[in-house]
């Protein structure tokens, strides 16, 4: 996984579901698969400029969502608070409950 931009990767994880399927595919090819604009244009069947516009529009949408919902920032704070709590808990039922809360809060409960 070659990441041109780690922040973009977090934003995609958080909000990809709000983008169109084509936007998701273009961003995935660009940021995760590290394809060039020309290669993506061939894959998706639109022009190189169309790919560039699609990426820029999708990025603007992702930043808009983060500005108004802040899920990436929240997840980061949740991880930090969760790690602190876990350092305070020995093995046992409370630790399991804390792990469950953390997974649920991060949307990792399946």
Residues in touch with its own copies (CB under 8 A): 15, 17-18, 64-65, 68-71, 74, 77-78, 81-82, 84-85, 88-89, 93-94, 97-98, 100-102, 104-105, 107, 109
Between CA 110 and CA 35 the distance in angstroms is 30
Kindly state the smallest distance separating residue 31's Cβ from its own copies, in Å.
19
From residue 63, give the alpha-carbon distance in Å to each of 6, 10, 16, 34.
13, 11, 12, 21
Closer by beta carbon to its own copies, 51 or else 72: 72
Residue 43 CA to residue 25 CA, distance in Å, equals 10
Q: How far is the CB of 47 from its own copies (least distance, A)?
A: 28
Structure tokens at 41: 């244009």
The CB-of-29 to its own copies minimum distance in angstroms stands at: 21
């Amino acid at each position: 996984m070659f990441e041109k931009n780690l922040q973009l990767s977090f934003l995609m994880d958080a909000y990809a579901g709000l983008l169109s399927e084509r936007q998701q595919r273009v961003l995935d090819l660009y940021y995760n698969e590290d394809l060039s604009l020309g290669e993506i244009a061939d894959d998706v069947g639109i022009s190189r400029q169309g790919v560039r516009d699609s990426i820029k529009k999708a990025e603007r949408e992702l930043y808009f969502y983060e500005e108004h919902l802040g899920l990436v920032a929240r997840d980061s704070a949740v991880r930090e608070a969760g790690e602190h709590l876990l350092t305070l808990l020995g093995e046992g039922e409370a630790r399991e409950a804390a792990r469950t809360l953390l997974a649920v809060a991060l949307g990792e409960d399946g």
